[in-house]
Amino acid sequence: MISLHARLSQRKLSFDLEHSAGRTLAVIGRNGTGKSSLIGLLSGILIPDDGGSIVLDGQEVADPWVGPHKRPITLLSQDPTLFPHLSVLDNAAYGLRAGGMKKSEARERARSYIEPLGIGDLVDRMPHQLSGGQQQRVALARAIAVEPKILLLDEPLAAMDVSAAVVLRDLIKDALKDRTGVVVTHDMADISAFADDVAVLADGQVSDYGSVEEKMADENSMLRKYFLGF
């Protein structure tokens, strides 16, 4: 479960959100409404004002002293951010190694996540030898290899061409099975593919929340207004 009650007064943002475990939440809104800040709070990149509360899978993580390996989450953004000096296999194993796993064991587990993503034949290549879509698959393997309970995705397909996005969308959908997910997106195709629920941000806060099915059926919902452009 995700429970977020946090303020970022300098950015004029105020979030109050409760989201059930095992479901994927799409976060949408115009530019500047706080989507990336919400992801930043959940991931620990941003720290809320005093008195804020962020509970992930039953653990309070608003305290800046809660280390990254104590947070049951990983983040996949539109920029794969692979380490240029590491191979595909070692990039995918990086989170496991950072968590203290032995190199051989980390590589073995990483390989088990690489293979289903269709890049098993690329394990010895370096990032500069990969296409953008291949790099994003490596980043996805790295994100899920640590077996997070919560997967955060910040515009994961925004930099992909149409054909690569179609393939990656299916791979991400599979990765979200049996996990709690939060996906920031501008694309209705992502919402249709991934999301069970949707939160619409406006004026620095959550202005609408509910199941995608419910909100798409409601002619007055913020979700429909957002995609119809009014």
In tens, the pLDDT along 97-114 reads 998 999 999 999 999 999
Q: What is the mean pLDDT of residues 111-136?
A: 94
DSSP of 46-70, one letter per residue?
Answer: S-PPTT-EEEETTEE--STTS-GGG
Contacts of 177 (CB under 8 A, 6+ apart): none
Q: How far apart are CA 42 and CA 149, in angstroms?
A: 13
pTM to 2 decimals?
0.88
19: nearest Cα among 35, 34, 7, 3: 3
Mean pLDDT over each residue of the chain, to the nearest integer: 88
Residue 209 confidence (pLDDT) above 50: yes
CATH code, domain carrying 215: 3.40.50.300
Would the pLDDT of 26 be above 90?
Answer: yes
**154 and 225 share a domain?**
yes
The verdict on residue 169 lying in a domain is no
In a domain, 117, yes or no: yes
Give the pLDDT of residue 145: 93
230 pLDDT above the threshold of 60: no
Instruction: For residues 94 and 111, state if they share a domain.
Output: yes
Q: Are residues 129 and 224 in the same domain?
A: no
Tell whether 140 and 99 lie within a shared domain: yes
Does one domain contain both 92 and 140? yes
Residue type, 184: V
Q: 27 and 138 in one domain?
A: no
Residues 60 and 156 in one domain: yes
* Shared-domain flag, residues 31 and 67: yes
Let me know if residue 166 belongs to a domain: no
pLDDT band for position 180 (cuts 50, 70, 90): very high
Question: Would the CA dihedral through 68, 11, 28, 160 be positive or negative?
Answer: negative
Structural domain including 134 reads 82-147
**Nearest one of 213, 210, 217 to 19, comparing CA atoms:** 210
Q: How many domains does the chain have?
A: 2
Tell me, yes or no, whether 88 and 139 share the same domain. Answer: yes
44-71 average pLDDT score: 79
* 77 inside domain: no
